[in-house]
């Protein structure tokens, strides 16, 4: 038997684009499964990955 040692980093690097694509795919799957709330949450996460809330223009909220 041959043994091969491979150096693997302790974390897997993933680009924001790849992560948001995966989140969108999961959102589609959740929507198809009738889990609309989960799908909407995943869409929000995908949006946050590409445009983090700290970088967005502030949104003014009116209170009644």
What pLDDT is recorded for position 61? 62
Q: Extract the tokens encoding 32.
A: 């198809």
The residue range of the domain holding 41 is 16-50
Q: Is residue 33 part of a domain?
A: yes
DSSP, residue by residue, 6-63? ----SS----HHHHHHHHHHHHHHHHHTT-HHHHHHHHHHHHHHHS-GGGSPP-----
Q: Extract the tokens encoding 33.
A: 């499964």
Q: Is residue 60 part of a domain?
A: no
Q: What is the pTM of this model?
A: 0.64
What pLDDT is recorded for position 34? 97
Q: Is residue 63 part of a domain?
A: no
Distance CA 44, CA 50 (A): 10
Q: Is residue 38 part of a domain?
A: yes
What pLDDT is recorded for position 5? 64
Q: What total number of domains does the chain contain?
A: 1
Q: Is residue 57 part of a domain?
A: no
| pLDDT tens sequence across 2-61 | 666 666 566 668 889 999 999 999 999 999 999 999 999 999 999 999 888 776 666 666
Q: Is residue 56 part of a domain?
A: no
């Amino acid at each position: 038997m041959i043994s091969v040692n491979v150096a693997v980093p302790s974390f897997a690097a993933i680009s924001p684009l790849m992560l948001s694509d995966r989140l969108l795919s999961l959102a589609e799957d959740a929507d198809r499964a009738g889990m609309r709330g989960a799908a909407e949450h995943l869409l929000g996460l995908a949006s946050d990955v590409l445009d983090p809330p700290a970088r967005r223009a502030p949104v003014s909220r009116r209170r009644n």
